Structure formats: structure tokens, C-alpha cells
Amino acid sequence: MKYTDPAGIERTSMDIIRGELAARGISLPPENEAVILRAIHTTADLDYAETLAFTPDAVQRGTAALAAGADIVTDTNMARAGISKATLAKLGGAAYCYMADEVVATQARAEGVTRAAVSMRTAAKEHPDAVYAVGNAPTALLELCALMETGLRPALVVGVPVGFVNVVESKETLLKTCQRLNVPAIIAIGRKGGSTVAAAICNALLYTAAGTLDPGKR
């Protein structure tokens, strides 16, 4: 069958995902379904149905923040590029990434730390109530944890970096920190993740907040 309608392609893809999950005996929690489906839709990886972890009411709280005009901060320009900025703007927010900021780069070199860590410090000063979406750098997650210990309270933290070095450990630290401090979080347990997953999760929340989960309404 030939598909040419973008909205129809997306609806069919979501139906296929639901069917394959059902065949595996997996039933998604309704409150988290939109996020999980979009992560799978972006990656074609059904494992996200079982590896995405959610603190209590994380989707509800993140969606409410975006509906109220919260900004989104990412750790890569790739993730920022993948976010539906048109939807975000309609809700009153904007997307930011400080990784390419020269001041951030200079400070990181001077301190001997990653730009990702310094970019989180910079963002925390400018956008303390934002949704933070990290898809690449474990050091960004660890810096966010340190900042939360000293008072930062993001609207939501999406922690889905991909890789092999300190990835699993940083996600575990983030989950424990957010649970203890009552900061909502969505975390990809294990090594998998990436900037595309971070953007996909943000888009699921944005579309939910804007009432446009059905692609025909976008």
C-alpha cells in the first residue's frame, strides 16, 4: 500500500506500534502512552515501552508547565532542532541551547569541564523553571543534579543521553535525585537514548498540551 499523506502515515505508524506492543503483551499506562509511542515512533525501538521511567505525574506536570508557557532547554542543537518550535511558540515558550555559546566554551576550557555542564549552569540562571531535555551528555545530567541540590527546580527533566561512559550511572543519579526532591523526570534507563529521543518526548508533551496529538490537527 502506498502512503503519501503525512498525517495518515503517522496514524498508521502508531497503530502498528500499538499492535506490536499488544502482541508482546505490553499494555501502556494511559498517562504515559503518548510519550512512549512517540519515542518508539522516532526510533523504531519497542524497548522504550519498558525502559522509559517516569516519576509520579511527570507527564501531567510537564504538560501543564508547557501549557503555561514554559521554555525548553536542550543539551544539543540537534535536540533543539527536532522540537516543534511552532507548537512551543503557540503555547508561549521557546527552545534554548547554550552549547555553541562562546562564553560557555571559554568557561569550560578554563575549568577543564565539559561545555554541557557549563551550558546547564548558564541555562539555570536564565531559565530556572524550564523543561530540561538532555539526550547526549551525562555531564549535563550530573550538573543538573548538583544544581537541584542547591535549589534549582526545573518544570521537568528529560534524561535520555545515549552512550557507554557514565550514561547509566548519570541516569540512575538523576532518577534518585528527582525522586527525593520531587522534581518530575522522564528517564531512559540503560544505554539507549539520544537527541532524537529527547526531542520526541518534548514533542509528545507539546502536542498533548496543545491538543494536537492527532497529526491532522497540527
Tens digits of residue pLDDT in 157-193:
999 999 999 999 999 999 999 999 999 999 999 999 9
Residue 1 falls inside a structural domain: no
Residue 24 falls inside a structural domain: yes
Report how many domains make up the chain: 1
Q: The domain that contains 124 carries what CATH number? A: 3.40.50.10230
Residue 108 falls inside a structural domain: yes
At a CB cut-off of 8 Å and minimum separation 6, what does 52 contact? 32, 35, 36, 39, 186, 187, 188, 189
The residue from 41, 115, 121, 171 that is catalytic is 41
The pLDDT of residue 2: 58
Find the domain containing 194 and state its range: 6-217
The pLDDT of residue 5: 86
At a CB cut-off of 8 Å and minimum separation 6, what does 114 contact? 108, 137, 139, 140
Residue 196 falls inside a structural domain: yes
The pLDDT of residue 16: 96
Residue 41 a catalytic site member: yes
Residue 23 falls inside a structural domain: yes
Q: Within the chain, which residues score under 70 in pLDDT?
A: 1-2
Residue 87 falls inside a structural domain: yes
